[in-house]
Amino acid sequence: MTILTNRRTLLKGATAVAAVTAAGKFPMPAIAQGAPLKVGFMLPYTGTFAKLGKFIDDAFRLNVEQRGGKLGGRTVEFVQVDDESEPAKAADNMNRLVGREKVDVVVGTVHSGVAMGMVKVARDNNTMLIIPNAGANEATGPMCAPNIWRTSFTNWQPANPMGKVMYDAGHRNVMTITWRYAAGQQSVESFKETFLKAGGKVMEELWLPFPQVEFQPLITQIATRKPDAVFCFFAGGGAVKFVKDYAAAGLRQSVPLYGTGFLTDGTLQAQGADAEGLKTTLHYADDLDNPANKAFLTAFKKKTGQDGDVYAVQGYDSAALLHIGLEAVKGDFGARDAMVKAMGAAKIDSPRGPISFSRANNVVQHIYLREAKGGVNRYVSIAHANLADPATGCRLAS
Ligand code: PHB
């Protein structure tokens, strides 16, 4: 496993190291299948989203290992950069990967604001970018491009079915709470779209800056105003603390808490009993009863000693998508048009269920209603089957 010793340090991945070791002192010369394909991971390896980045990285590598260290017949070499979930550093980090490290493809990132910076650079220099988490709607909306792909979700997707779920549960007057940045704002907007349409009312929207976790004053406002329920978007370390603080305030019974599934994904162990019974919507559930999910969870556990989650699934599927593209062109990364065409036609038997890709290059997938029980995000129902983002503003031809 490759470890970032310093957050501003780039380290070569395990494959490259193995090649150097196997050849003795020097990297092995390019052999029949051509030079290694260089994949640049631009992910958060520190901060509130550190675990999310690590799981994406681990699962992408797992997929490559399962193909004998290759994608589309090309040996894969990895380079990592810690983006620190810091939008101000996004362009520099991206330029380092593309300019100095000369990667063929960038896989990243988690944070919507950082992703927007990456998308701008990728559009300028036509770098192939696969987004394995960040939901910024624009990346596959007005900023869509043939070289920009997303295997995760738009912020619109997992939040949209929740309006109806909460209305049908009898909630009429709700409050929302989230971080004030693209993912939080777009999740709340999407939830409101369906909740208001059903006839519900939003009494108040509460915000705090990303990645702050001083939830107490806002939770006090919820206790004072007594809405029927609360919708939230939080993820990673922040989600762990929010769920614990909300339970500690004694509000779980009187003001039920709902959110997108990031609230409880990869976090249940740390949240313990405080997460029990939380209902969320997401494109994954731990106990999805399909062979791909079972095989994936077993393999991920074997590799990392940890239970896979939605972030790992997204990393795993990013490698699968890249493989499909490369296989169609026999590893020739220069045959970009044919590669993109094959990616657009991809149908992947993902651990999350069947997925395909829209004309905006965003994933089309089921959104599940789940309930946290005994440390597992259990499948309850399909909240919306094969949900495609509206991709408003995307001008790619279908
Ligand atoms: C985002 O910033 O787009 C984001 C981050 C973490 C998540 C989901 C979305 O879990």
Instruction: Select from 261, 282, 303 the last residue of a domain.
Output: 282
What's the gap in Å between 112 CA and the centre of ligand 1?
Answer: 6
Task: Give 327-385 pLDDT, tens digit per residue.
Answer: 999 999 999 999 999 999 999 999 999 999 999 999 999 999 999 999 999 999 999 99
- Given pLDDT bands bounded at 50, 70 and 90, which one contains residue 397? low
Least confident range from 25-39, 128-142, 229-243: namely 25-39
Task: Give 249-288 pLDDT, tens digit per residue.
Answer: 999 999 999 999 999 999 999 999 999 999 999 999 999 9
Instruction: Select from 282, 308, 327 the last residue of a domain.
Output: 282
Q: Are 132 and 188 found together in one domain? A: no
What's the gap in Å between 37 CA and the centre of ligand 1?
Answer: 28
Residue 391 lies in a domain: no
What range does the domain containing 99 cover?
37-153+288-364
What's the gap in Å between 12 CA and the centre of ligand 1?
Answer: 26
Amino acid in the structure at residue 393: G
Q: Which atom of ligand 1 is nearest to the CA of 135?
A: 3
Q: Are 298 and 349 found together in one domain? A: yes
Q: Which atom of ligand 1 is nearest to the CA of 110?
A: 5
Q: Are 206 and 96 found together in one domain? A: no
Cβ distance 367 to 160 under 8 Å? yes
85 DSSP β-pair partners: none
Backbone CA torsion sign across 214, 259, 140, 52? positive
- Given pLDDT bands bounded at 50, 70 and 90, which one contains residue 10? very low
What's the gap in Å between 135 CA and the centre of ligand 1?
Answer: 6
pLDDT score recorded for residue 9: 36
Ligand 1 pocket member 134 (CB < 6 A):
yes
pLDDT score recorded for residue 396: 84
pTM for this one?
0.92
- Given pLDDT bands bounded at 50, 70 and 90, which one contains residue 34? confident
Residue 369 lies in a domain: no
Task: Give 120-150 pLDDT, tens digit per residue.
Answer: 999 999 999 999 999 999 999 999 999 999 9
Residue 140 lies in a domain: yes
130 φ/ψ angles, rounded to the nearest 5 degrees: -115, 120
Q: What is the tally of structural domains in the chain?
A: 2
Ligand 1 pocket member 353 (CB < 6 A):
no
Ligand 1 pocket member 153 (CB < 6 A):
no
Residue 71 lies in a domain: yes
Q: Are 58 and 172 found together in one domain? A: no
In this prediction, residues 14-41 reach a mean pLDDT of 53
Instruction: Select from 267, 282, 297 the last residue of a domain.
Output: 282
- Given pLDDT bands bounded at 50, 70 and 90, which one contains residue 17? very low
Residue 25 lies in a domain: no
pLDDT score recorded for residue 398: 54
pLDDT at 27 over 80: no
pLDDT at 14 over 50: no
Residue 347 lies in a domain: yes
| CB-count exposure of residue 144 (10 Å: 0-12, 13-18, 19+) | buried
Q: Are 249 and 310 found together in one domain? A: no
pLDDT at 218 over 90: yes
Locate 268 and state its tokens: 């249940």
| Of 61, 73, 75, 123, nearest in space to 98 by CA | 123
* DSSP codes of every residue in 365-385: EEEEEEEEETTEEEEEEEEEE
Ligand 1 pocket member 260 (CB < 6 A):
no
Q: Which of 83, 85, 112 to mutate to test the pocket of ligand 1 (most atoms within 8 A of CB)?
A: 112
List the CATH number of the domain containing 210.
3.40.50.2300
Q: Which residue has the higher pLDDT, 237 or 4?
A: 237
Q: Which residues contact 145 (CB under 8 A, 6 or more apart)?
A: 119, 122, 123, 361, 396
pLDDT at 240 over 50: yes
Q: Are 87 and 187 found together in one domain? A: no
Q: Which of 84, 110, 234, 309 to mutate to test the pocket of ligand 1 (most atoms within 8 A of CB)?
A: 110
Distance CA 343, CA 356 (A): 9
- Given pLDDT bands bounded at 50, 70 and 90, which one contains residue 8? very low
- Given pLDDT bands bounded at 50, 70 and 90, which one contains residue 13? very low
Q: Which atom of ligand 1 is nearest to the CA of 136?
A: 3
Task: Give 166-207 pLDDT, tens digit per residue.
Answer: 999 999 999 999 999 999 999 999 999 999 999 999 999 999
pLDDT at 29 over 90: no
What's the gap in Å between 29 CA and the centre of ligand 1?
Answer: 40
In this prediction, residues 49-75 reach a mean pLDDT of 97
Q: Are 232 and 337 found together in one domain? A: no
What's the gap in Å between 379 CA and the centre of ligand 1?
Answer: 21
pLDDT score recorded for residue 157: 98
Residue 376 lies in a domain: no
Ligand 1 pocket member 235 (CB < 6 A):
yes
Ligand 1 pocket member 135 (CB < 6 A):
yes
Q: Are 278 and 300 found together in one domain? A: no
Ligand 1 pocket member 262 (CB < 6 A):
yes
Task: Give 299-328 pLDDT, tens digit per residue.
Answer: 999 999 999 999 999 999 999 999 999 999
Q: Are 267 and 297 found together in one domain? A: no
Q: Which of 155, 156, 178 to mutate to test the pocket of ligand 1 (most atoms within 8 A of CB)?
A: 155
Q: Are 244 and 148 found together in one domain? A: no
Residue 13 lies in a domain: no
pLDDT at 290 over 90: yes
pLDDT score recorded for residue 343: 98
Q: Are 172 and 221 found together in one domain? A: yes
pLDDT, mean over the chain: 92
Q: Are 165 and 229 found together in one domain? A: yes
What's the gap in Å between 330 CA and the centre of ligand 1?
Answer: 34
Ligand 1 pocket member 110 (CB < 6 A):
yes
